[in-house]
Copies of this chain bind each other. A is one copy, B any other.
Amino acid sequence: MSGNTFGKLFCVTTFGESHGPALGCIVDGCPPGLEIHAEDIQRELDRRRPGTSRYTTQRREPDQVQILSGVFEGKTTGTPIGLLIENTDQRSKDYSSIAQQVRPAHADYTYWQKYGVRDYRGGGRSSARETAMRVAAGAIAKKWLKQKYGILVRGYLSQLGPIKVQKLDWDQVEQNPFFCPDADRVEEMERYMQALIKEGNSIGARISLHASGVPAGLGEPVFDRLDADLACGLMSINAVKGVEIGAGFACVEQKGTEHRDEITPEDGFLSNNAGGILGGISSGQDIVAHIALKPTSSLRIPGRSIDRSGNAIEVVTKGRHDPCVGIRATPIAEAMMALVLMDHALRQRGQNGDVVPG
């Protein structure tokens, strides 16, 4: 039970099922005085919204967010911010046929095991629709981080199945439906996705995240490390199976002389294998993380499984589904990174210690 709250000082608690009346969240711990409007949040939600391209689920929801509390005369008051999105496109009939099915690679089986019941309408609580509220909460964190510290949290699709991006041009990221920072790869991605959709299959993806402007000193040294909390937040996103900080798994084959980021008085750190975190604490360099997202499990290609009584069945998914959940995951991952950074920024108290030049 429980487990629907994220953060220690900037606490986000979400509720809502894919096909219930509404999704919502409470953002508790936002400092007072931040100018915030529904549009600030809506902008981020629109980046995540389904149905915006042919490569994502065709579910069409306006995902209109309402601010129910915590903001007075356009500014936060320090009291909890209640956010609400009503579900308007609830085609629950699509799902009635799967009520007794255990869909492979879905949470059907584990929810049954854990709770003895399961809301079978569109995955219920296990649907990625829950992440809308993370994006909404993350929008507040992003705005505060930017205003207070000039921190910019950004992400991009770094790999779509076999297609790896070759260059990072931030200006390109919002110019295509993939959050791809490499204009030269977009057409290839489009062709790949069209073939995949035709095939009725799905594919994994890799998302990369950068936070610039993060001051040194955020994070706690032992368990609540900045990297540990990022790993937790990012792994908690639906479909994520791996998290890397900085060099990540590449460091397995690195020698110490190669991995260590040397420092000179003139240029500061000469490399960033650490991903901006040393001993669990930010160093002032960009925070860099990468995540792996598994391919969607809802496929038109039949798969072997069982029903709730243990009988063999064949599962075929109809209805609207993302052939690559990674495509829409960039705003979600950015949101989780922003939530982690904001939480640690609030935990941080100004220390009057000596500071070495960065």
Whether a CB of chain B sits under 8 angstroms from the CB of A149 is: no
Interface residues of A in 257-283 (CB under 8 A from B): 257-265, 270, 273-275, 277-283
A122 vs B219: C-alpha distance when bound (angstroms): 21
Distance between A170 CB and nearest chain B CB, rounded to angstroms: 22
Contact of A5 among B81, B223, B265 (CB under 8 A): B223
**Contact call A257/B119, Cβ cutoff below 8 A:** no
Interface residues of A in 3-35 (CB under 8 A from B): 3-6, 9-11, 13-17, 20-26, 28-33
Whether a CB of chain B sits under 8 angstroms from the CB of A95 is: no
Mask of A99-120 contacts with B, CB within 8 angstroms, 1/0:
0001011110111111111110
Distance between A12 CB and nearest chain B CB, rounded to angstroms: 8
Distance between A86 CB and nearest chain B CB, rounded to angstroms: 9
Contact of A292 among B218, B251, B298 (CB under 8 A): B251
CB contacts (< 8 Å) of A124 on chain B: these are 72, 77, 79
**Contact call A109/B216, Cβ cutoff below 8 A:** yes
**Contact call B204/A259, Cβ cutoff below 8 A:** yes
CB contacts (< 8 Å) of A26 on chain B: these are 4, 13-15, 24-26
Specify which of A1, A111, A216, A263 lies most central, judged by the most chain B CB atoms within 10 Å of its CB.
A1
**Contact call A3/B110, Cβ cutoff below 8 A:** no
**Contact call B262/A104, Cβ cutoff below 8 A:** yes
Whether a CB of chain B sits under 8 angstroms from the CB of A165 is: no
Mask of A193-230 contacts with B, CB within 8 angstroms, 1/0:
00010000111111000000000111111111101111
Q: Decide: A77 near B119, CB < 8 A? Known: A1-B31, A202-B256, A224-B3.
A: yes
CB contacts (< 8 Å) of A348 on chain B: these are 114
User: Which candidate, A39-47, A56-64, A177-185, A235-243, is the interface stretch facing chain B?
Assistant: A235-243
Whether a CB of chain B sits under 8 angstroms from the CB of A51 is: no
CB contacts (< 8 Å) of A229 on chain B: these are 232
Whether a CB of chain B sits under 8 angstroms from the CB of A125 is: yes
CB contacts (< 8 Å) of A307 on chain B: these are 356
CB contacts (< 8 Å) of A23 on chain B: these are 69
A222 vs B235: C-alpha distance when bound (angstroms): 10
Taken together, the copies of this chain in the complex come to: 4
Q: Decide: A4 near B222, CB < 8 A? Known: A15-B70, A279-B106.
A: yes
A to B CB contacts below 8 Å, 30 in the list: A2-B224, A4-B222, A14-B80, A16-B68, A16-B69, A17-B70, A17-B72, A22-B68, A24-B82, A32-B351, A33-B115, A78-B351, A102-B263, A105-B259, A107-B280, A110-B219, A113-B217, A113-B283, A113-B355, A114-B353, A203-B254, A227-B240, A228-B236, A232-B232, A252-B292, A256-B297, A258-B295, A260-B299, A263-B304, A264-B312
A344 vs B352: C-alpha distance when bound (angstroms): 20
**Contact call A260/B105, Cβ cutoff below 8 A:** yes
**Contact call A13/B5, Cβ cutoff below 8 A:** yes
Q: Decide: A78 near B242, CB < 8 A? Known: A102-B263, A106-B278, A254-B295.
A: no
Whether a CB of chain B sits under 8 angstroms from the CB of A234 is: yes
Whether a CB of chain B sits under 8 angstroms from the CB of A330 is: no
